[in-house]
Amino acid sequence: MKTFALVLVLVVAATMVIGIAGLPPHGDPDGPIHTHVGARYLERGVAETGVRNLVTAVLLVYRGFDTFLEVVVIFTALVAVLALPSATRRPPPARGESTAAPRRGSDDAVPVSPVVFFVVRLLAPFIAVFALASLYRGHVTPGGGFQSAAIIGAMMIALGLVFGREHAARLVPHGAKAWLQALGPLAFAIIAFVGWRLTGAFLGFPADEAAHALREAMVVVLEVAIAVGGAVILAQLFMALDAPS
Amino acid sequence: MIAGAVLEIAAVALVVLGVAFLLAGTIGLVRFPDVYARAHAASKCDSVGAGSVLLGVALHDGVAFGDLKLVLLALLVVVSGPTTAHALARAALRSGRRPSTRDPAGPA
């Protein structure tokens, strides 16, 4: 068995090394990634999209379909988790290893550590500001909707751990919960149809100079929807995995 | 001129110290016997290791206003790292993990 594993590792490693040897040299200006659409993105990306961060420009404008479906994938993941029976029922306690100390009722009965409570309360405002800055600056610097969603979602999870589930659930208005969870796909669909009306292409962005403000507004709507919708989905995923019976 | 050299030496010393702590912490994370000792080793990586590397980078190439970001980052690491180690160890204790009392020198 060990010999087989060793041979397998060597064969896979050799295949990968051969594959890497076939790649163009790093930074080669004639490499495939620089000779197709990349040059056009770099040359005209800012003028065509109005987004000064070219990563965001590619993500939301040039490759909008890709991102649309990414948002749908995240939403589908939440739907799948909520549909699982184990997401709403507590699994039986694990057997085996250390059962030395008696478990004190359910985990929710364990008081929150004062250290963690203090540090989360101390850091939460900074995390929120960082998320907003990352969203707002995503136009110019690395950042944007997805990053912001991850940061806000993490903050909501941390607050939920410290203040309790009920308290954290109040961060998301109950009536709007379903809409917020679907915000990413919904916003993409609306923007896609708006683009269709304007340009004749589904998810098209008006390219002429006069439509600059409109184009920018479309991108901003998408960014905010990705951030808010993604954050709600992330927090909801965590709460669902951890929900009491 | 002299001040610049002193700053540079301090920067390199801080980075080297940080890397040494990171290395020791990583070895500890792999080699230590139980979750408590591992959390102890890993939290040294975070606070002292990453903290002093960040401070060293801030001092490197002279002190500028932008270095304030690195100091803030170091502060964040120093606050959040030990908190994480504390939370981990507390969760391990609450879920009934016994600290290892095996003596590596004596009979296993």
Complex-level ipTM: 0.77
Residue of B69, B76, B94, B97 to mutate for A, most A C-beta atoms under 10 A: B94
Q: Are the beta carbons of A32 and A40 closer than 8 angstroms?
A: no
**In chain A, where are the structural domains located?**
36-87+112-241
Contacts of A99 in chain B (CB under 8 A): 96
Cβ contacts (< 8 Å) between B98 and chain A: which residues?
Answer: 98, 100
Q: Which residues of B touch A101 (CB under 8 A)?
A: 93-96
Q: Inter-chain contact B83–A100, Cβ cutoff 8 Å?
A: no
| DSSP character string of A69-124 | HHHHHHHHHHHHHHHSGGGTSPPPPP-SS---SPP-SSGGGSPPPHHHHHHHHHHH
Contacts of B81 (CB under 8 A, 6+ apart): B43, B45, B46, B47, B50
pLDDT in tens, chain A (245 residues): 889 999 999 999 999 999 988 888 777 777 777 777 777 888 777 777 777 788 888 888 888 889 899 999 999 999 988 887 765 555 555 554 444 444 444 445 678 889 999 999 999 999 999 999 998 887 777 778 889 999 999 999 888 888 887 777 777 788 888 888 889 899 989 988 888 888 888 888 877 777 778 888 888 888 899 999 999 999 888 888 766 54
Tokens for A96, please give them. 């085996």
Name, in order, each residue with C-beta under 8 angstroms of A233's C-beta and a sequence gap of 6 or more: A74, A75, A77, A78, A149, A153, A181, A184
Q: How many residues does chain A have?
A: 245
pLDDT in tens, B57-102: 998 877 788 888 889 889 999 998 889 999 989 989 888 888 888 7
Of A99, A103, A123, Cβ closest to residue B80: A123
- Say what the pTM is: 0.73
